[in-house]
A and B are shown apart, each in its own frame.
Chain A
């Protein structure tokens, strides 16, 4: 199933806007720089299309606009002053709750382990799942921060990626000579 076309339009609009602004800063860019700018502006456009509702979008924008990173001035150009942007501070509340939930879960696991012996297969399965969750967290921007909403965020991120790929592909196809 494919995402709604309104999302595509919004993404396209923001992306082209961002590209216009990015292109003013340097007149002649190498091909690698261009690629990086394109991808970067696409990511920022995708994240800003979410308007701060999801954790990964906030994390992506905040990572990009850190002063130490390469492209933070581009982010400023694209998104405007800091005050307009949704802050990452909204992450704090979920993580506190996540910690509480984690404590409960850990206690329950300890209790259950005392009650019965660990079956080897289930522990292996848990280990696998934990490993893969870690990999997934590394893939998604801001994945380290979220614990309870990981799968929701993944869903949203996948949908945004699909939109991004569709738009870019149609753009590339359209601008072929």
Chain B
């Protein structure tokens, strides 16, 4: 795998599906870049060698080829595999022409039809400068032959399948060619590169697996699978193999997540480790909840204390309402009163019907409040309270706290008189 992927794997808060989708997107990006770059470098080379005689020779196709190439850039910028189907078929239909048409004629398509497209070409070339053109040019010859073979097959296949399957076909074409042009890592794709040139049937195992993961989201009717050479071809064993490959893929993700799993192979050992880890995590939760129960007699947590002790150093910027409020309140001397009032506030806001939250908070912030007041409010709220606040009001309260913290003292004195 390349540089981008380990970063993707790092964020394990993404679900497995998202991760795989990201990986597939990345793969397609890489492939598209190389493909575009190889295509355009070939074109530019051809154009420089030939003198210009633009023909009406299949202009419609070449136009679509160039237009699709120009549109392909926008596809790349979006990089959504399943949504953008229109440019991809454009590219696909253009390639059969490549296989048959002389290279010279092909070279004139994009160059002959507008500056905008050449501008796109330049963009593509500058963008894909990572792979050196020399390497690409060397690969292009081999690529084009493989493309010619594969594309004819694919164009035939493509007419048979439905729209949903189009995306899968494109993806598997892409991944096939990724394997052809540069060595990909996974063991499933390894045999594919060796066998793709001389097989009557090729395996779509990897891509079908990835596609089936995507298709889990889309809910398709069926999954394209083909048998590898020398393997059983009935549907049951194919389905079985797809399932096994899916499971092994997920086991790999689990290895990343569960510590100490790198040396263990095999399903049973992995499952053992996973079970142990889940059990230990659940036990930790129990233990910590017990600890918290002993520490806090009233189940209210000092948010301001949390931030004062710098518990979450990396998320104070992302947690504006509570964080700023806490810092703001920490600057005021009577912030110790904040805690009981927080409880009171969240309980009484709806019940009282007035904006007691603001008033209560302003009283806390502006001046020290005596304890009997707080107890009075506590009991009244507890006895009278029936309704529960919706969560939106809670956020609104936090917002109020935040606002109030800035505007505190003036209103506080007025409202004190009212109360």
Indicate if B410 sits at the interface (CB-CB under 8 A): no
Interface positions of B (Cβ within 8 A of A): 9-13, 15-17, 234-237, 239-240, 243, 247, 250-251, 253-254, 256-258, 266-268, 271-272, 274-275, 277-279, 281-282, 284-286, 288-296, 298-303, 305-306, 309, 311-312, 314-315, 318-319, 322, 342-343, 346-347, 382, 385, 388-391, 394
Q: In the bound complex, do residue B293 and residue A101 qualify as a contact, i.e. CB atoms below 8 Å apart?
A: no
CB neighbors of B among A136-177 (8 A)? 136, 139-140, 148, 151-152, 154-159, 161-165, 168-176
A3: chain B residues within 8 A (beta carbon): 11-13
Q: A7 with B293: in contact, given A139-B282, A158-B281, A175-B302 (CB under 8 Å)?
A: no
Q: Hey, which chain A residues are within 8 Å of B240, CB to CB?
A: 104-105, 108
Q: Which residue of A is nearest B389, CB measured?
A: A21
Q: Are A155 and B16 in contact (CB under 8 A)?
A: yes
Number of A-B contacts (CB under 8 A): 196
With A and B bound together, what is the CA distance between A21 and B393 in angstroms? Answer: 13
Using CB atoms, name the residue of chain A closest to B347: A24
Residue A66 is within 8 A (CB to CB) of chain B in the complex: no
From residue A115, how far is it (CB to closest CB) to chain B in Å? 9
| Interface residue? A132 (CB, 8 A) | yes
Instruction: Tell whether A8 is near chain B: CB-to-CB under 8 Å.
Output: yes
A98-128 CB contacts (< 8 Å) to partner B: 101, 104-105, 107-108, 111-112, 125, 128
Min Cβ gap A41→B in Å is 9
Q: Tell me if A174 and B309 are in contact (CB < 8 A).
A: yes
In the complex, are the beta carbons of A158 and B258 less than 8 A apart?
yes
A5 lies within 8 A of chain B by Cβ: yes
Rounded to whole angstroms, the CA-CA distance of A158 and B382 in the bound complex is 38
Interchain residue pairs A-B with the least CB separation, the first 7:
A108-B236, A34-B293, A39-B289, A132-B271, A35-B293, A168-B288, A161-B281
Q: What 9 new A-B contacts, CB under 8 Å, besides A29-B299, A80-B390?
A: A1-B9, A5-B312, A24-B382, A31-B293, A104-B239, A108-B237, A132-B268, A135-B275, A155-B15
A158 and B278 contact, Cβ closer than 8 Å, known pairs A171-B306, A174-B311:
yes
Instruction: Map CB proximity to B onto A47-90 as digits: 1 under 8 Å, 0 otherwise.
Output: 00000011000000000000000000000010010000000000
B299–A23 touching, CB < 8 Å: yes
A56 → chain B closest CB, angstroms: 11
A9→B294 CA distance, assembly (Å) = 23
A156 to B346, CA, bound (A): 32
Closest to A3 in B: B13
